[in-house]
Structures are given as C-alpha cells and as structure tokens.
A and B are shown apart, each in its own frame.
Chain A
Amino acid sequence: MQVYDSSAKQIPVISQIKSIYENRGLLRLLVVRDLTVRYKRSVIGVWWSLLNPLFTTAVMFYVFNTVFKSKLPNGAPFLPYLLSGVLLITLFNQGLTMGADAIATGAGVLTKVYVRPEIFAASASISSAVNFLIGLGPLTIVLLFYHRTPTWHFPMILLVIFFMTLFTTGLSLLLSIAYIYFDDSRSLINIFLTALQYMTPIFYPVSVLGPHTKDVILLNPLTSFLEIFRHEFGNGAISTLRNWEIMVGSSVFAFIIGFYIFSRQWPKVVAKL
C-alpha cells in the first residue's frame, strides 16, 4: 500500500529521478500524447514539425549562400552544415520552452492531481528528441544529394541526444520557476535564446573566428553539442575532447542544479499557480 508522509525525508535529485522512473508509464504516455497531438491529428502530419527548421534553413541558405556566398574552409557543402545546426538548435529550444511551458501552464493538472512536475519537463525533452530524430531524415537526404553519406559511427549522435535531454530537462525546470514568478520572463528568455543562437556556429564555422571571439563561442555549451553532432553525422566539423568535456559536464551540471533548485522552489511556487 502506498503511504504519503509529508515529513518523509526526500533526498533531492535522487528522489526526483526515482519518481520519474517509477512513473515511466506516465512519462511514455505524455510523450505519446505530445507526438499524437502533433502528428496524427494534423493534415500534413510529420512534415508540420519539420516545416519550421526546414523553412528556417531555406531562408538562411538563401541569405548566406546566395547573397553572401559563404563557403566552408574545408570545402564541405554548406547546406547539410546549416541544416544540422538548425535542427540542433531547434532540439534545444523546443525541449527547453515546451518543458517550462508545460509546468508553468500545467496548473490545471498540477494543482488538482498529485503528479511530479519533473515528469512534464522530461516528457517535453524526450518528444523534442523524437522530432530531432525525424529531422535526421531530411538531413540524410541533403547529405546524399551532395554525394555524401552519414558516417559509420553516426549512432554516436544518440549520446548527443541523451545529454541534450539531460541539459534541457534541467534548464526547463529552472525556466518554469522563472515563468511562474515573473510574467515578463518569457520575452526576456526569447532575447536570450536569440543571442545564444548567434553564439552557436549554426551558419559559420568556428575556424573563421578570431581568437577572442572563438573563446567566447566555445564557452557556449551548444557549440560543443553541435560540433560533436556534426562530427558524428558527417557534416564537416571536427569535435575535440574539450567539446565532449563541455557537453557532458554542462548537461550533467544543468540537470543536477535544475532538479535541486526545482525541488526547493516548487513547494513555494505551486501555491501561486
């Protein structure tokens, strides 16, 4: 029999992970719900979620390839390079904002039924990971178009997805708290996300940057995620050990800090919902 004891000692992070694991049935349902609502019920189905990254890529390709005549120094084709960047940044943005939204606007459920809000953050990150996997289809087509193929070690990108899921789940918990406390945090985060996008080498290679700019860009964890993704999928980038250190370190750090702060703040903010 289940017993709820409000005074029971809860170890932050550990107990939260345990409860997500215990509710994995619910987690799976929430992911399926997200995907069903998005795909099955809309006329153009799967293409709908790809429309945004594909359209963004088309616009940027026109601007940088045709207008600015950008070339990658190593001679790699620009389009797959660009598309992989857009897909990865979409994975990050979607996981982050969908998760935070699910909690901040989840008052309907979260204040009526006992369910750990962390499950909503995790499900948002996982559904955007599924969208990302779907986006690999068009990316492969684009690669083939340039007579290239994904590398033999491309399953390594599953690690990129795994760490990105940790990263966005942790950050979206923090963001959800900000959303609940401050109404204007949504517009501020959009400015921040735009800045972050330009600080990620989506449409330019790291090698063209000056030493100082390069240092700043490399500090952005998304740069490491992206460089590793491109390296592992075969889109003209080299990943370094330093990239791996930043990716693993920042995602584990964001995950632990996010869960820890959330476990402290949630009891205070749930009354505000």
Chain B
Amino acid sequence: MTDELIVEATEVSLAYRRTRHRVSSLKQTAIDTINRRMSYEQFFALQNVSFSIARGETLSVVGRNGAGKSTLLKVIARVLPPNSGRVIVRGHVAPMIELGAGFNPELTGAENIVLYGTLLGRTPKEMKNRIEAIAEWSDLTEHLDIPIRAYSSGMTARLAFATATDVTPDLLIIDEILSVGDADFKAKSAARTQEMMNAGCAVLLVSHDLDAVRRLSSRAIYLDHGIPKLIGSPDEVIENYLSDVAH
C-alpha cells in the first residue's frame, strides 16, 4: 500500500491574536483597557496550506526564517491545533523537533528513556523492555544509571535520538537534519534516518540545507509568510525560492 496517505492537510490556517504593544502584564492590560487603547491584530502564521504525504514519500518545506515552517511542523505534530481547515495524520508520529525536550536532568539515563519514550506516545512497559537496546545503540550502556545532568551535550543528544527513533514511525517529522555527536554517531544517525525512510514511513522535513532537500525529498513546498507559494518537484520549488531570496 504505497499510496496510502499518512498526512492529509486541507486548507489549514493558523492565526493568533496579538496585542499591538505586546503587553503581557495584568497591570498594563488593565491600564490599556481603561484607556481603550487595547487593540489586537490578527497574525497569520499559516494560511490555507494544503498538501498530503503518502507512505514512503518525503515532503520538504522551504522558506525564509519566520515563514511558518516550524509552525507547520507543529500543526502536523498535533502540538498546535489549526484554527480552520483539517489535518489528518494516520499512525505513529516521531516528531524530531528539538530532540530531548522532556528529558529531566535529575533522572538517570534509563529513567529518561522510559519517560521520553512515554511522552512520545509509547507505553512505560514497552519502554522498560527497550532500555538496554536503546542504551547499546547510543553507546551509553555504562552511563545508564547516572543522572543525565552529568552527560555531555553529545551524549544527551545521542540518547534522545536513539529513544525517538527506536521504532520506525508512520510519519517522521524532522526539523533540520540532525548533526549530533561525533563523526561516527553522525554517520550512524544518518543511516538510521535513511533506514526509516526506506522502511516506508512518510517524512515531513524542514531544512535550510537545500542540497539535502533536493537529495532526500520527492516533493517540496515553499512557504512565504505562511502562504504556500508553490508545491512541486524539489528542483522547481528550490529554484523559485532562490530567485525570491535573490531579490
């Protein structure tokens, strides 16, 4: 079933109201309300974005900083609910967005594997059985029982990557290609990512590395101020994006 759609996004929009003066205190809000100076503006982070990703397909998102790329990933990752439009995602999602969010520095490596895996939607029981395999893969077996505040940033990143990619998801969401750890681990994690792609999971990728986008993706979408300007082949989309940036 290669044409099974894992992600279907239809006319997805996300807007939030923000105050003009960016007040965030009760005192200021009260003063502004009394003076009738309270005014809001609608800020569209995403406007009518539609696309789908089939099993085995990789869709890349390109665009300038602040174009809504990360917001789009978060909408698909279910973190941000869209204001209008519809998102359907079928199956297990591995959101590789700032890996390791949810790690607790005071807990040991083993405890963090279970906690992080459970936050990512698996069961604690399942995760307990996977501790050793994950530790071995990330080469941290000897450090399992110490709190991860004693880990180096490379070790933490390895543990996070290994935990997040322990099962092949149906949808892999990648915010920037990972460059964690030393050269060995980099090669290993790249191989694991490729393996997951080959295993037929759908991939949604955000990257500023246009070569990677060209190499990895089957289709690309160009976001400009939250508006999808072009969806098409990676080459076509990148060319369009680059000519915009040049101006």
Query: A interface vs B, CB < 8 Å?
Result: 1-7, 25-26, 28-30, 33, 36-37, 41, 108-115, 181-185, 188, 267-268, 270-272
Contact = CB atoms under 8 A, between A and B. Distances in A.
15 contacts: A4-B78, A4-B89, A4-B90, A6-B82, A29-B114, A29-B115, A29-B118, A37-B106, A37-B107, A111-B101, A112-B77, A114-B121, A183-B25, A184-B27, A271-B45
Nearest to A272: B16
A272 B106 CA distance: 27
B14 A182 contact: no
A33 B25 contact: no
B111 A112 contact: no
B123 A25 contact: yes
Interface string B114-136: 11001111011100000000000
A98 B228 CA distance: 41
A7 B119 contact: no
A114 B95 contact: yes
Given A25-B125, A111-B79, A113-B119, 8 more contacts: A2-B91, A3-B91, A4-B88, A4-B93, A41-B147, A113-B102, A181-B24, A271-B45
A2 B82 CA distance: 19
B86 A108 contact: no
A238 to B, nearest CB: 40
Contact of A26 (B82, B97, B119, B170): B119
Interface of B: 14, 16-17, 24-27, 29, 45, 74, 77-82, 85-93, 95, 97-98, 101-102, 104, 106-107, 111, 114-115, 118-121, 123-125, 147, 170
A28 B27 CA distance: 38
Given A5-B86, A28-B124, A37 B104 contact: yes
Given A114-B121, A182-B25, A184-B26, A3 B107 contact: no
Contacts of A182: 24-26, 29
Given A37-B106, A109-B101, A184-B26, A6 B81 contact: yes
B101 A108 contact: yes
Contacts, number: 111
A245 to B, nearest CB: 33
A267 B102 CA distance: 20
A111 B78 CA distance: 9
A112 B25 CA distance: 26
Contacts of B102: 108-109, 112-113
Contact of B89 (A3, A268, A272): A3
Contacts of A36: 106-107, 111
A225 to B, nearest CB: 28
Contacts of B147: 41
Nearest to A37: B106
B121 to A, nearest CB: 7
Contact of A267 (B81, B104, B125): B81
Given A6-B88, A33-B107, A111-B74, A184 B25 contact: yes
B1 to A, nearest CB: 12
Interface centre among B111, B115, B118, B125 (most CB of A within 10 A): B118
Given A6-B88, A268-B16, A113 B95 contact: yes
Given A29-B114, A33-B104, A182-B25, A1 B90 contact: yes
A108 B100 CA distance: 9
B88 A271 contact: no
B104 A25 contact: no
A100 to B, nearest CB: 15
Given A33-B107, A270-B79, A2 B92 contact: yes
A271 B86 contact: no
Contacts of B115: 29-30, 33
Contacts of A41: 106, 147
Contacts of B120: 113
